[in-house]
Structure 1
Amino acid sequence: MNMTDTLGPHLPFLRRYARALTGSQSTGDSYVRVLLESLLDGNMSLPGDVPPRLGIYRLFHELWSSNIHLPAGEGASMHSSVEQRLQLVQPENREALLLSSVEDFTVDETAYILGTSEEDVQESIAAALHSIDQDLESRVLIIEDEAIIALDLENLVNELGHRVVGIAATRDDAVRLARQRQPQLILTDIKLADGSSGIDAAMAIVQDLDVPVVFITAYPEFLLTGQRPEPVYLVTKPFSRDTVRATIGQALFFHRPRMAA
């Protein structure tokens, strides 16, 4: 099996992870691109004693921790507005949280990827949750046409200390509520009640508001194609509380300084 067949199924999710970790689509994609180039050039090779998905994430972290300098102009947006916030949360803490909660690796798999112990991973997850929950209370708009899921998200968002300012089931309702209530975070499904699109709703909203968008969908393959701009923050249904919490925390963690500026 060639490298394309071996790694192809895992690359969309590695890009998702890299974007969430860096807080930037361009920066995350740049790290993944450099990793693939290193593999093709023979400068790096997949570990032969673990599954390919585990191996590629391990190699990504070797690259991420090497302080590699990206080509000029790539990833610059990350290093201005969020640098001081990043210093408040140790990188290994965020890495452990995202790997376990968003990428769904087990604690022992996360420890392998990060080259640390399971005890350290558990401590890092707890520390990251504590850090990203501080001072991030936000107004949240939910775009979801299934009432039960919308209610579940509303309860979860409220439990996390945020405030839901509206629930919309269609694109037009979402845009109207966003203009009226000025949310600081959007949680949206892709397929909405009247056949409209959560993607279209989000695109219309961000034209007026500088607000992070978290897509929550049962069909991540529709967004993670590599053939068009992809979301920085993406949660797959059925979702867990920890996954939504981690993703909301990352979105606000990176976006809040830009909003303040």
Structure 2
Amino acid sequence: MSLSQKIAGELPFLRRYARALSGSQARGDAMVKQALEKALADETLKNSLAGERDALYRVFHLVLDERGTSSQAASTDDTKEASALAKLDAIADQTRQALLLTTVEGFNTEQAARIMGIDADTVEKLNQAAIAKIDAEQRTSVLVIEDEPMIQMQLEDLVLSLGHEISGTATTKDEAVKSVEANRPGLILADIQLADGSSGLDAVKDIMEIAEIPVVFITAYPERLLTGDRVEPTYLVTKPFREETVKASISQALFFG
């Protein structure tokens, strides 16, 4: 496999990490672009990309350490975006990095430590701090859009275990829209493929015309959505999922929501 093929295969997942970390597709993609430009301009960094999967993430973190996730805070005029960036300044970025790397991206503690340039014990402590923050997250109500009964029950149990409430469940686009109209949730967990052939993406698009609500998408085919060809989900969980991954994504969505 050529270096360009290797990078192309890993890029959608690095973009997922960057946008979850920054809370924005545009900011996340800009950070990834800067990391790739830096790597391709430096022969040593470029050669390092031929290594393990964590190599591309290590290069990304070199750029991240130089600019910080919230370096654009002073330049934005958007009130909502400025508020989100202010939140980033208020917490330890490393805590969120460690949580996302080990849960959403699936790296083990040692790999996350190499990516972040710290020791494994520190990664463990950061994860413990992140979990504590999740437990203290503001409680909300959650709409679960999922057509597989067992997965729907699993997501409901997970939501309740975090101290949130279930505002409703839906298996089709129409059911989802009606549920939001009847009982406005504070968060949505949405499958992509629904029971009647409708799309969770279409359901959320219609819902956003009613109200802006944070969304975590769940799909067995994340690479189909992370193409860079259109507006993409910020929070995307891959099926089959680990509960820790969903918890981390919920925390991030509520944090920026």
TM-score by length of 2: 0.91
CA distance in 2, matches of 1:75, 1:96: 30
Partner of 1:137: 139
Instruction: Specify the code of the residue in structure 2 equivalent to 1:32.
Output: V
Q: Which runs of 5+ in 1 are unaligned?
A: 256-261
CA distance in 2, matches of 1:36, 1:73: 23
Q: Report if the CA contact (8 A) 1:17-1:98 is conserved.
A: yes
Matched, 1:36 2:36: yes
The correspondence of residues 6-21 of structure 1 with structure 2, limited to 5 A, is 6-21=6-21
Aligned to 1:206: 208
Which deviates more, 32-41 or 138-147? 32-41
Please name the residue that 2:67 is paired with. 67
Shift in Å at residue 34 of structure 1? 1.1
TM-aligned CA distance change 1:91 to 1:208, over 3 Å:
same
Aligned to 2:250: 248
Q: Deviations over 1:51-74 (max 9, x none)?
A: 34211100111111112666x978
- 1:102 is aligned, of 91, 101, 104, to 104
Q: Report what 2:223 is aligned to.
A: 221
The alignment partner of 2:147 has SS state of coil
Q: Is contact 1:100-1:106 (8 Å) kept?
A: yes
Q: SS of the residue aligned with 1:98?
A: helix
Q: Which residue of 2 aligns with 1:258?
A: none
Structure 1: distance between partners of 2:79 and 2:2: 35
Q: Which amino acid aligns with 1:114?
A: M
On the 8 A contact 1:175/1:204 being kept in 2, the answer is: yes
Within a 5 Å distance, the mapping from 1:94-243 to structure 2 comes to 94-243=96-245
Which has the higher relative contact order, 1 or 2, with Cα contacts under 8 A spaced 6 or more apart?
1
Q: State the percentage of identical aligned residues.
A: 45
Distance in 2, matches of 1:199 and 1:233, equals 13
**In 2, are the aligned partners of 1:27 and 1:75 still within 8 Å (CA)?**
no
Other structure's SS at 2:45 match: coil
**Cα offset, 1:229, TM superposition:** 1.4
Conserved? CA contact 1:26–1:74, under 8 Å: no
Range 39-48 or range 204-213, more displaced: 39-48
Shift in CA distance, 49/57, structure 1 to aligned 2, threshold 3 Å: closer
Q: For the Cα contact (< 8 Å) 1:7–1:53, is it kept in 2? A: no
TM-score, scaled to structure 1: 0.90
Cα 1:49/1:217, change in 2 over 3 Å: closer
For 1:45, the equivalent position in structure 2 comes to 45
Deviations 1:164-217 (A, max 9, x none): 111100000001101111111110101100010001001111121111111111
Which blocks of at least 5 consecutive residues in structure 2 are unaligned? none
Secondary structure of 2:189's counterpart equals strand
Residues 193, 75 of structure 1: alpha-carbon distance in 2 compared, 3 angstrom cutoff: farther
